[in-house]
Structure 1
């Protein structure tokens, strides 16, 4: 086994739902596309439906109707969502659409006029109303009980924990604030209660997500709430500290490098939170960042990274970048490559810029030709791959804890503390793994490395 397994895809939620229905019970199928935030929305919708007496079908044929939770962030994602809607219509016929693309109902109905209803992102009540109209509920008072942990679309041992909706940034290439609104943080005690229940029900890893996790609580003026005999602020640092008390791995996603992020690093050094930061830098040249309407302090960011690593030497940094943004010159792109040499990020993703309907960046001058975007993407990924390969090679001979995701005939697929599910690499154990179970946390010694993955043996 030399590559990431293709069959563990939390964005394909329909494949993750276990069937459980009684004779005559109305059943609903779900296809969930896009990011983990959308996946959490799907889980909440299915949990509410299960509580109302609906069964959950894992295929089109067994469902009385199908909900398609769409993504609308990029034009390519919109096309994928429209394709999924078309497939559901062809296979089932009764389709309800929700999610980010649902913010543009005419766009959907223009292509698929036979959909029964269209609702926008995180409009839970409207989705339920649409389901009730299409497939009336018929609950059994003694059988249909909501599971204590709700319906989950991820493996049992990890779960996404959404702490806020929306975003206050106004990046020119992004339409998320238009679709999901401004930042709206959940009360801290509600987040902690959910996390506590998840851990009580066997979750070993909590993946904290939002559009901007480091801004958590800003809209609430960092108000305080009672918790366990004391009070906790709705602030990312306080939240992370409390989450670290539950004994599960806590992984922070979508952190912007605000000054207060440095307060999180000691928590990582103490072991309360995984030494992992997912920061969307997007670019490094100040002019490119200015055209993106993003903070343009790449040099200061390098100083911050150095300071973080001094406090927590094991810190792993993941980020995403855009190449070929309108107006990007060869000099600006070379600055990004030079910055990568300095920053030495551990995990990196890269996208070629594409127009998104409604984004302000569409109107910028000097769009980069497709062949230049492709060539820059290849150069960028070559640089990122070389950095990743060197960093992973340095891990050979080290002992580390890993969490088991999947056990197959030829190997166990695991992740280190440096690897988030689906987006980072894996560690494979191909000897003596047969007794392992998903969710176990075991110690291994690394004995081989590739550009993105590791191999190890149980220690």
Structure 2
């Protein structure tokens, strides 16, 4: 029997890019290709790149160089693929270069240089997972209608393009049937979901309606990348009712009005604080995560101080922070007032030191309480898992002692015994 050609995949970037990699692998398998675990056993390598910030671009270029050196047959796709001329100039031997989510183009390029025996008999496009079996990322839309000056996502991925709700629900049901106990809902702008779709009956199929439908599947539903739109007012009641996880990932980027204007961001810190107070009154167990950029062009010490003051007042549970990095094609590159790198790093350190204390304080509220924990891994007699407040890969975890008999994917009730800067520790209850 003829061996099927093997494709290696290097997947870089965010969870949204990971979903693209899963879909691409599904297409390749349906076309008759197998996957390879390393360069040596691969007949061709696909590198799904990220070009969101300078460091991500550098990582992608290094990955392409390594794939060319170790294998030689390389297709580049993803966000960095939008700069095809630059890539071909640097790597003239590339098989093909495509933009993000260009699944048909990638399969066509692979087929052209590496013909497959043909599709597997009677096989539909399979669901491929690059995450553990017990959770899955569910991408509900592509693109973005915002024009933030530090970002080129609309240039790379186009305007908002929401998936029809029936398609999203069908995929969600398939993921649950395959063993997923948590669905992590993602998009470039999740809260805008459905704005570009035609109305259904008397209403548009917005994010609240979709979240409510996903909540009927009997698994955890966690929402990421929610701009502070009014739609959030309809999501928090669903969290309070236990229909979706009480977890709100709301990237705010800054708190200084002057910086937000230069970023072309929509939020005002006073409004956000008022809404946080209202949401926490409605849903006391709400966990709020956000991300921020320090060192944006023109950011003064007063601007940065406003950001620190906001963090003190907001008491966010989880925070990620990045120093500003110029991205080719971003409007912010032309703004005056570049912040020296050493100042960026100093501000980053100050912010994270402050936030560490806030996170430690916020985590103490769980001590003595019982929470559900989804087990991710078991190491000896200790299980590592996540509670409702912990998103995979970006947040802390729960360390569960006396974990003999637990397996990844188990959902167990845990009594929290102590807390730290980012993590919780506890013991399992019941069988």
Q: Distance in 2 between matches of 1:353 and 1:289?
A: 13
SS in 2 for 1:319: strand
- Residues 93-145 of structure 1 show CA distances to partners (whole Å, capped at 9, x for unaligned) of 11100000000011212221111100000111111101101211113755x84
Answering whether residue 129 of structure 2 is matched by residue 152 of structure 1, we say yes
Q: Is the 8 A contact 2:141 2:163 kept in 1?
A: yes
> 2:353 maps to which residue?
382
Answering whether residue 77 of structure 2 is matched by residue 106 of structure 1, we say no
> 1:15 maps to which residue?
none
> 1:178 maps to which residue?
155
- Residues 170-200 of structure 1 show CA distances to partners (whole Å, capped at 9, x for unaligned) of 0000011111111000001100111011111
> 1:433 maps to which residue?
403
> 1:11 maps to which residue?
none
Q: Distance in 2 between matches of 1:113 and 1:352?
A: 33
SS in 1 for 2:245: coil
Normalising by structure 1, we get a TM-score of 0.91
Q: Is the 8 A contact 1:232 1:239 kept in 2?
A: no
**Root-mean-square deviation over aligned CA pairs:** 1.5
Which deviates more from structure 2 when the two are superposed, residues 24-33 or residues 238-247? Answer: 24-33
Distance 1:350 1:23, change over 3 A: same
Q: Is the 8 A contact 1:25 1:54 kept in 2?
A: yes
Q: Distance in 2 between matches of 1:110 and 1:411?
A: 51
Q: Is the 8 A contact 1:215 1:236 kept in 2?
A: yes
Gaps of 5+ in 2: none
Q: Is the 8 A contact 1:322 1:352 kept in 2?
A: yes
> 2:166 maps to which residue?
189
Gaps of 5+ in 1: 1-21, 226-230
Alignment of 1:201-240 (within 5 A): 201-221=178-198, 223-224=199-200, 233-240=204-211
Q: Distance in 1 between matches of 2:234 and 2:350?
A: 35
- Residues 279-310 of structure 1 show CA distances to partners (whole Å, capped at 9, x for unaligned) of 01000011110011111411111111111111
- Residues 32-86 of structure 1 show CA distances to partners (whole Å, capped at 9, x for unaligned) of 0001111111111111111121111111111110100000101111110010111
Normalising by structure 2, we get a TM-score of 0.97
Among 419, 428, 431, the alignment partner of 1:458 is: 428
SS in 2 for 1:267: helix
Q: Is the 8 A contact 2:195 2:204 kept in 1?
A: no
